[in-house]
């Protein structure tokens, strides 16, 4: 994503080799910007931003616990807890979405 390549020139971490082309750089999953002399032109992108949410659809829940797990035990594992409805996991993993 373009926003991942908005890295200040002084913060760029080299991701290529001298003379790498823009196409080769991008093919390697890196960013390319040759506008600042003396700084890496092929550099590592910023990490993707993700948002963790608890799924609202009870049938989309992926089990993260065990029968009888308490809310505190579940949350200590880093999972979501909702003690309803019956027949679906009450302790379940977050849904992760790229922002």
Tens digit of pLDDT for each residue in 19-77? 999 999 999 999 999 999 999 999 999 988 788 899 989 999 999 999 999 999 999 99
pTM of the predicted model over 0.75: no
> 9-43 with 50-98: one CATH topology?
yes
**CB contact set of 91 (below 8 Å; sequence gap of 6+):** 63, 64, 65, 66, 69, 73, 74, 77, 79, 80, 81
Report pLDDT digits (tens) over 6-33: 999 999 999 989 899 999 999 999 999 9
Return the pLDDT at 99: 67
> Do 49 and 65 meet the contact criterion of CB atoms below 8 Å apart?
no
Q: Out of 2.60.40.10, 4.10.110.10, 3.10.105.10, 3.20.20.100, which CATH number does the structure's domain 9-43 have?
A: 4.10.110.10
CATH of segment(s) 50-98:
4.10.110.10
| Residue 1 reports pLDDT greater than 70 | no
């Amino acid at each position: 994503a373009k926003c991942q390549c908005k890295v200040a020139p002084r913060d760029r971490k080299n991701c290529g080799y001298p003379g790498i082309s823009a196409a080769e750089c991008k093919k390697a999953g890196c960013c390319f910007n040759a506008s600042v002399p003396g700084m890496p032109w092929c550099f590592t992108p910023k990490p993707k931003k993700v948002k963790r949410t608890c799924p609202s659809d009870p049938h989309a829940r992926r089990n993260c616990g065990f029968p009888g797990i308490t809310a505190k035990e579940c949350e200590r594992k880093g999972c979501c807890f909702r003690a309803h409805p019956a027949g679906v996991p009450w302790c379940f993993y977050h849904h992760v979405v790229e922002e």
